[in-house]
Chain A
Amino acid sequence: MSSSVYIAGVGVISGIGNNVAEHLRAFEQGHAGMGTITMLNTIHKGELPVAEVKLSNDELVAMTGLPPNTSRTALLSLVAAREALNDATISNFESLRTGFVSANTVGGMDKSEGFFVDFLADNNKGKLRNIFDHECGSKTEIVADKLGIGDYMTTINTACSSSANAIFYGARLIKNNLLDVVIAGGTDALTKFTLNGFNTLMILDKQFCKPFDEHREGLNLGEGAGYLVLASEKVAQILTKPVYCKLSGYNNSNDAYHQTASSPEGTGSYLAMKGALEKSGLQPSDIDYINLHGTGTPNNDSAEGTAVKRLFDPHYPPMSSTKSFTGHTLGASGGVEAVFSALAIKHGIIYPNLRFETQMSELPFQPETIFQKGQHINNVMSNSFGFGGNCTSLIFSRA
């Protein structure tokens, strides 16, 4: 039970790139992924910026080899999960007990909303092939089948903390000796459903978002997918290249305050971070970088900042929200940011927090604004918090 779980491969796609190399370049050059809506047919086009993956469904279909009508959620998932698996170069993959644990929040909604327009007009109308794979679990199944993973798969949906939970559930399947290798993370495509949903909550910034800024006005939605290949100690030993890091700590706590809002004290976030530190056996001062949840909403950043202050004061590690680049990729964000965390350790990167201008008056710290690499980074904390008070923190450590 005490054995370590290693990160053997990483894969990511988001508004700033279609693979790991493109992401590293975008971070170094300070290129954000937000822009005008081009893919969704919505009245909010031109009014609300989003961070779209810069590939059409047709291009993604050509890239993945999936059928033309596949949900964008599954297409994005396969691109990133396949990159992660190829990156891990596990020579005896077929002979191992393998699993796929993926997260998403609205399943095949991008297809279902088209179906629903016809269905509403006449309940016997609407093409069934556009609703057949609506379930969240379908997205996972499509990708697992393509990757040849059949021993175990499941799907998690705890809103915006979903894929962080998928990652540590996957790690626990290995620690409990149920599996040897698990690809874990999450995916979400932009949909009208989520865009309008977040818009009703009035937490979408009409400008590019400014996480942890005194004058922040909300989040920008994004889309993407991010996966880690988690490997047992035994598998890690036979890999032909060094692992990225290990997953040393994790914790899931509930804020139990409100269905969507965070408590002013950030109780859930505090407990998640504290629990993850305890599990890793580390002190707050051991953390070299925090990848903040940092959505850019007044409520989240205030609650998360308060929790960070309570745990880290007076010695704050460098921290930033990479959502200032990718937008908030919802169910994918924990996976996407876990990839960034693993890369931070491998390349010694501190990611900048774009567009930051003014320190929040209630907090004694501010996020990093300059891209740095070649730093010595041993431990990275990654935060993911979601609706329903679901708060999860992961800690990645040099192996």
Chain B
Amino acid sequence: MKTYIRSASCISPQKTFRNEDFLTDIVEYTGTRLSTIEPDYKEFIDPKLIRRMSHVIKMGVAAAKDCLNQARVEMPGAIITGTALGCLEDTVGFMTRMVEQNEELLPPTAFIQSTHNTVAAQVALMLKCHGYNNTFVHKGISFESALIDAIMLLREQEANSILVGGTEEMVDVSFKILTRLGLYRRWATSNLELLSTEAKGSMGGEGAAFFLLTDKTSKDNLAELSAIKTLYNINDIEGGITKFLAENNLKPEDIDLVITGKNGDLKNDAVYKQLGSSIFKDSNISNYKHLSGEYSTSSSFALWMAANIIKKEIIPQTVIERQIDNKSPKKVLIYNHYLHKYHSLMLVSAI
């Protein structure tokens, strides 16, 4: 059984949402943080509801609905999301009031919408979808866990069209705390120079990307999600990647394009550099985090990008680090790691 990506929708700091142009008109951010470009949510959500929805709920619901529209699927068989930090705006909102009002006279809305499964729940509610509904909240492999769940459901024939999404919102509080923890830079950089000015820390990011996965063949499918694997705390990443490729009857030289999780942080990027001069020394290499910023489910942006690269047979200039040939990629490997602890490998192929 194969898993296909029928459609993909992405709200990000770039003009990725409902845009035929594929990463041509790049938005520059100078600072330490990239924020999403907001679509007109009224097209996707009842205006009465928009007012009460936090940023991540709006992004998630709009990307999910657009993804279904693109696939011309009204009712998915299952809805699965991944988010590391969940609904931060509402979590922080409720906590702030709790502290400031000394636990008295608190309104319930923020608490109600603070649970990590709110996006998946709101999508189900809007569609009246009674099918399987799950949310994974495991750091840098939240989105990957959701994909693994979806692939198993397809194999088990529990559903044949599954909506899977990765969402994350950055609020001032989380940005400040993550900066204090050393994840982001302490001085302003241009995102267009993020990867060439390696220093300590990356730039913050956020976004929502949804995919309609199916086991049904169709000329409309964007690409095949051929394999996915997560590795924890391994020292020999080269060996890990080679083994993953071998499990899929591939060698490093069979990969037409490697998309890495390079984010401008010296320590973070060392492993990608090393791979670029070892097993992938003759490979085409692209990067994406200068476009999306760094966040726990950013690999969903990378998957959106890989699916489009394959379908459109274009590698946008802005993502290219090294392009050795002009072939349109048929086999794309996404390799991202989260703080050297969680490694995620996704193999995306032309149909």
Contact = CB atoms under 8 A, between A and B. Distances in A.
Interface of A: 1, 42-44, 105, 107, 112-113, 116-117, 119-120, 123-124, 128, 131-132, 134-138, 140-141, 150-159, 165, 169, 172-173, 175-176, 178, 192-193, 196-201, 252-260, 267-268, 271, 386-390
Contact of A390 (B133, B145, B173): B133
Given A152-B232, A200-B108, A124 B180 contact: yes
A193 B116 contact: no
Contacts of B148: 178
Nearest to A138: B139
12 contacts: A1-B156, A155-B136, A156-B137, A172-B149, A192-B98, A192-B103, A193-B98, A197-B111, A200-B107, A256-B127, A271-B130, A389-B133
A162 to B, nearest CB: 8
B115 A140 contact: no
A120 B100 contact: yes
Contacts of A268: 130
Interface string B94-129: 111011101110111001111111101110110111
A157 B176 contact: no
A157 B94 CA distance: 19
B86 interface: yes
B113 to A, nearest CB: 7
Nearest to B173: A119
Interface centre among A154, A157, A175 (most CB of B within 10 A): A154
A66 to B, nearest CB: 18
B197 to A, nearest CB: 26
Contacts of B116: 105, 136, 157
B100 A388 contact: no
Main secondary structure of the interface of B (DSSP, over half): mixed
B132 interface: yes
B177 interface: yes
Contact of A254 (B108, B121, B180): B121
Contact of B99 (A120, A169, A387): A120
A390 B191 CA distance: 39
B134 A135 contact: no
B208 to A, nearest CB: 17
A137 B142 contact: yes
B138 interface: yes
A339 B289 CA distance: 44
A328 to B, nearest CB: 14
Contact of B181 (A128, A201, A253): A128
Chain B interface size, under 10 / 10 to 19 / 20 to 34 / 35 or more: 35 or more
A158 B134 contact: yes
B138 A140 contact: yes
Contact of A253 (B103, B130, B177): B130
A169 B103 contact: no
Given A157-B135, A254-B131, A259-B122, 7 more contacts: A43-B104, A113-B98, A196-B94, A254-B79, A254-B132, A259-B112, A390-B133
A349 to B, nearest CB: 30
Interface centre among B100, B104, B113, B177 (most CB of A within 10 A): B177
Nearest to B105: A200
A200 B106 contact: yes
Contacts of B84: 135-137
Given A154-B136, A201-B108, A267 B177 contact: no
A268 B104 CA distance: 33
A31 to B, nearest CB: 30
- In this complex, the member of B116, B132, B141, B152 whose beta carbon has the largest number of chain A beta carbons within 10 angstroms is B116
A141 B139 contact: yes
Contacts of B108: 197, 200-201
Interface in B165-222: 173, 176-177, 180-181
B103 A196 contact: yes
Nearest to B108: A200
B95 to A, nearest CB: 5
A131 B112 contact: no
Nearest to B107: A200
Contact of A43 (B85, B102, B133): B102
Nearest to A198: B111
Nearest to B83: A157
A42 B180 CA distance: 29
A117 B135 CA distance: 29
Nearest to B149: A169
Most chain-B Cβ atoms within 10 A of its Cβ — which of A113, A193, A268? A193
B124 to A, nearest CB: 4
Contacts of A193: 94-95, 98, 111
B152 A390 contact: no
Given A43-B103, A157-B115, A388 B152 contact: no
B52 to A, nearest CB: 10
Q: Which of A105, A112, A259 is most buried by chain B, counting CB atoms within 10 A of its CB?
A: A259
B177 A387 contact: no
B177 A119 contact: yes
B125 A256 contact: yes
B130 A388 contact: no
Given A43-B102, A44-B103, A201-B108, A390 B138 contact: no
B129 A254 contact: yes
A201 B111 contact: yes
B134 to A, nearest CB: 6
Contacts of A201: 108, 111-112
A132 B134 contact: no
Given A135-B85, A158-B135, A197-B94, A389 B121 contact: yes
